[in-house]
Structure 1
Amino acid sequence: MNRYLKFYAILTSLGMLIVLLMGAIVTTTGSGEGCGNSWPLCYGEVLPSQPKVETMIEYSHRIVSAALGLMVVILAIWSWMKFKQIREVKWLAFLSVFFIVFQGLLGAAAVIWGQSSFVLALHFGFSLISFASVVLLAVVIFENGNDRATLKINKNFKLNIYLLFIYLYTLVYTGALVRHTKASLACSGWPLCNGQLLPPTTELEVIHYIHRFMAGLLFIWILLSFIQIRTYYKNMKILYNSFLLLLILVSLQVTTGALIIFTKLNLFIGLMHGLFVSLLFATLSYLVMVALRKD
């Protein structure tokens, strides 16, 4: 029975990642209005007749998101029934369902009434929480209630993990805001912004510059944390391997961020950028969960 649940948890996690990437495609291609202001129908039709490319992109995103929403609900109920004695399962099941429903309603509101760039950025942030909740739920299911990983580290380094998580989540919103305000190319060149070292002055340049600056700080923060782990916690495999993965992912994120500018919004590079930040967030979420556990 648990074997089927584990397989289903993996399938749902991969599906949630696909939904995130499809959402990035909708934003990057400007297909958010591909079905007009009609929801859940597309231009008032169940199946859009003579659809344009942007219509197919938006509508397929809706279909897959709805299917995954149902899968997440099933996973939450199934895992709750199987592991209701584990407190984490209850919270993760609730968070995964709540945020996938909430971000779906937020997306529907954006289609029907329109939303500001800031609210649209929240949509991606909530999607990340739902994705991470599903991934962590899968991790707990694989633990099967036994051999639960914990971190025996001092309070200061645990605090470092928590603050890093909050900082990354804030950074995610700045990145989503860059996309939704179409500020991705506001700064030409990299690492300088339009050849300037000092902060720019126009609104789009400021939005882009803040995200770029915060991303650089994230890389330095993770690098310094990894160096500290190599010095004091090298034998703690969960912590060491997790931060090694974080360092690799943040390096790839920074690299793809620069390539987005050099390639002038190449779709594949943009998707890879979204993929790496999603995996980065899920990995750090796992560390937070493990750090919160009692020894």
Structure 2
Amino acid sequence: MKRFYQIYSIITSLGMLLVLLMGAVVTKTGSGDGCGNSWPLCYGEILPTAPKLETIIEVSHRFVSAWLGLLVIILAIWAWRREPHRREIKILAGSAVFFIILQGLLGAAAVIWSQSSAVLASHFGFSLVSFASVLLIAILSFEDPDRPFIAKVSPAFKKNIYWLFAYLYAVVYTGALVRHTGSSMGCGPEFPLCNGTIFATIGSQASIHLLHRIAAIVLFIWIVYAWYHARKYYSDQKVVTKGFQFALLFVILQGVSGALIVYSNLNLFVALGHGLIISFLFGTLSYLALIVYRK
């Protein structure tokens, strides 16, 4: 039964990753209106006849999201009943269910009523939190509950990890805001400059894009510092050092893929890779925050 639980949690994690990517496809292809303002049906039908491409993309996203919502709820109940004594499992299970329902309701509201770009940008963030919660449940399923790994770091470095994790979420939001405001090419086909300069008019698409770039650069510097600090002072704790090695790798790949989005003129597959890498980075820092939280 334990093995089946582990396999199920892994499958659900991969499914959540698929939902994130499909949501990105909907945004990148402008398929959010593929069913008009009809929800949960699509133009009054479960499967619309003679659908256009954007309708197929939107319906597919809804169908997969609905099934994953059910899988997440089952996993949360299973995890809660299997390890009722573990407080972190209860928190993760509740978080996974709450945020996948919240992002579903937000998606429905975006279809029925028009939403501002600022509100729509939070949709990806909520999905990411649900994914990270499911991922951590999957990782913890391989732990001995009586001997959990506890990272022994200084209170200052622990706070640093918490703030880094929170800042990463803010950077994710700025990236989502770039997509939902149509600012992906706000700086033109240039990188690292923005329309030939390092400044932009406040409120313009260029300023939104530039804000995300600056936030991403700060994130990169912060992770480099955290990686160096962990390597220097906590080399005996392989999970911590390996965790920050992966975080450093992902943030480098994230920067490269971000530049490639500009150079490739919004290539869909490059953009999906960008979203995939940020999901890996978010999951990595989520786990690091978890193991330093333990007492």
Unaligned runs of 5+ in 1: none
Distance 1:23 1:219 in 2: 25
* Matching residue of 1:209: 210
* Matching residue of 2:18: 18
* Matching residue of 1:104: 104
Distance 2:253 2:200 in 1: 24
* Matching residue of 1:68: 68
Distance 2:226 2:2 in 1: 36
Equivalent runs, 1:56-205 vs 2, <5 Å: 56-188=56-188, 189-201=190-202, 203-205=204-206
Residue 82 of structure 2 aligns to which amino acid in structure 1?
Answer: K
* Matching residue of 2:243: 242
Distance 1:48 1:78 in 2: 35
* Matching residue of 1:292: 293
Residue 233 of structure 1 aligns to which amino acid in structure 2?
Answer: Y
1:193 and 1:200 in contact (8 A); partners too = no
Q: Secondary structure at the match of 1:121?
A: helix
Q: Secondary structure at the match of 1:169?
A: helix
Residue 153 of structure 2 aligns to which amino acid in structure 1?
Answer: I
Distance 1:246 1:200 in 2: 33
Residue 170 of structure 2 aligns to which amino acid in structure 1?
Answer: T
State the Cα distance separating 1:147 from its structure 2 match: 2.7
Query: Which of structure 1's runs of 4+ aligned residues deviate more than 4 A?
Result: 199-202
1:249 and 1:280 in contact (8 A); partners too = yes
Residue 93 of structure 1 aligns to which amino acid in structure 2?
Answer: A
State the Cα distance separating 1:200 from its structure 2 match: 4.3
Distance 1:153 1:47 in 2: 54
State the Cα distance separating 1:20 from its structure 2 match: 0.2
Residue 129 of structure 1 aligns to which amino acid in structure 2?
Answer: V
Taking a change above 3 Å as real, the CA distance of residues 68 and 19 of structure 1, as seen in their structure-2 partners, is same
Q: Deviations over 1:211-235 (max 9, x none)?
A: 0001011111111211122211122
Q: Deviations over 1:160-182 (max 9, x none)?
A: 10110110000010000000000
Residue 112 of structure 1 aligns to which amino acid in structure 2?
Answer: I
Q: Deviations over 1:105-161 (max 9, x none)?
A: 010000001111011111111101100010111112221413311111111110110
Distance 2:74 2:115 in 1: 30
State the Cα distance separating 1:201 from its structure 2 match: 4.3
Distance 1:15 1:211 in 2: 28
Query: What is the number of residues matched between the two proteins?
Result: 294
State the Cα distance separating 1:255 from its structure 2 match: 0.4
CA RMSD of aligned residues (A): 0.9
Residue 51 of structure 1 aligns to which amino acid in structure 2?
Answer: P
Equivalent runs, 1:253-268 vs 2, <5 Å: 253-268=254-269
Residue 254 of structure 2 aligns to which amino acid in structure 1?
Answer: Q
1:200 and 1:209 in contact (8 A); partners too = no
Q: Deviations over 1:57-104 (max 9, x none)?
A: 000000000000000000011111111111111111111001101110
* Matching residue of 1:6: 6
User: Identity of counterpart residues, as a percentage?
Assistant: 57
* Matching residue of 1:230: 231
* Matching residue of 1:273: 274
Distance 2:39 2:234 in 1: 51
Distance 1:260 1:60 in 2: 25
Normalising by the residue count of structure 1, what TM-score does the alignment of the two structures yield?
0.98
Distance 2:98 2:10 in 1: 20
Unaligned runs of 5+ in 2: none
Residue 207 of structure 1 aligns to which amino acid in structure 2?
Answer: I
Distance 2:232 2:108 in 1: 49
State the Cα distance separating 1:202 from its structure 2 match: 5.2
Q: Secondary structure at the match of 2:245?
A: helix
Distance 2:203 2:19 in 1: 33
1:149 and 1:290 in contact (8 A); partners too = yes
